[in-house]
Chain A
Amino acid sequence: MNNILKLTLVLFLICAIVAAVLGGVNELTADRIAQLQKEKTEAAYGAVLDSPEGYEDLQIKSYTQVANGQKIKIGKISKAANGKGYVVETTFSGAQGNISMVVGVNNSGKCTGISIIKHSETSGLGANAANTAEVGVNFRAQFKGQDASIALSRDGGKIDALSGATITSRSVTNATLAAILAVQDLG
């Protein structure tokens, strides 16, 4: 019995020390991590719909919007303070896992840009949709100016899919459509 007590005590002590050290490191890094996250979201907002004056939360409660048969979760919708349009946060499943993306929509219901915040698509194929290299930039640039008739070129629209990543491209297109529809629903 004594032995078991001793073992438990040693294990507990080690866990406590490790947890304390981690607490310290967390204390040091937490602010920076939160700051980076915030900057990233702000940068994404700015990239899809420029508004130096900031954004106001319009609708926080999330709901599901169906676009071309795919379910897209619509998150927070914000209004640009300069009145140029809206920014919609979306979450949907791509080819490998969930993708989080923000979509800018102007007052006439046209997409002003998209920016992918989080994804786990295949590196070199679907992941190109999010990267900062030329392929990614060109892919995302196609979405600018698209309205509710948006579709991949193989589905009769104007968006060229990324090579080898039709599923990712199609889900990104559907999410953009869902965001446009969500803004229309605002009235």
Chain B
Amino acid sequence: MSEQLTSILTISLGAILINNFIFSQFLGCCPFLGCSSKVETASGMGLAVVFVMGLASAICYAVNLLLAKLGLEFLQTLAFILVIAALVQFVEMFLKKMVPSLYSALGIYLPLITTNCAVLGVVLLNVQNDYNFIESVVYGLTGGVGFMLAIVLFASVRERIDFSDYPECFEGFPICLITAGLLALAFMGFNGMKIF
């Protein structure tokens, strides 16, 4: 049991801080740069990603077991992306009907998540790292939390950039990338942190 707990803690710490999905693995950069002009939208997007990544990890674990049993591992990418797309649709319909308040908060971000490479990335990495069911789900959830942390931090920095001076040609995207780079530099400080 304690071994399981250690491995879960190590995975969580890694996914949130050390190997942050955005800052060290570059997964999910498009929504990270696109949906981060306000803290509010950023946290909405972040929450939606945590939710979908957790669910996708759980379901794709089962799908992968099935594929492995049938000897059809080569269909992995195809199956995963279809599962994710269907899952996102399903979650959207479910929330709309059952939890309208949550739907109004997350609704507009959900369709964007299908093409978020962090989601497909996390399920592929689960397979690559041979994670068991619990580890997969934990990796998915904490990876999402890492994404949320990154996007919320980034959005709060971006809100202030509007009031600062920078060369004209850096307007818009370039200054965002430079900011993200500096944040990534800060996150590098977590490198080498270890539990036990």
Contacts and interface: CB of A to CB of B under 8 A. Distances in A.
Contacts of B191: 95, 167
A15 B83 CA distance: 13
A18 interface: yes
A167 B192 contact: yes
Contacts of A19: 75, 78
A53 B137 CA distance: 45
B78 A22 contact: yes
A98 B129 contact: yes
B129 A97 contact: yes
B22 to A, nearest CB: 15
B196 A69 contact: yes
Nearest to A27: B74
Interface string A8-20: 0000000100110
Interface string B130-148: 1000000000000000000
A15 B82 CA distance: 10
Contacts of B24: 96
B78 A93 contact: no
A20 to B, nearest CB: 11
A26 interface: yes
Interface in A137-187: 166-167
Interface of A: 15, 18-19, 22-23, 25-26, 30, 64, 69, 71, 93, 95-98, 166-167
Interface of B: 3, 6, 10, 19, 24, 74-75, 78, 82, 129-130, 191-192, 196
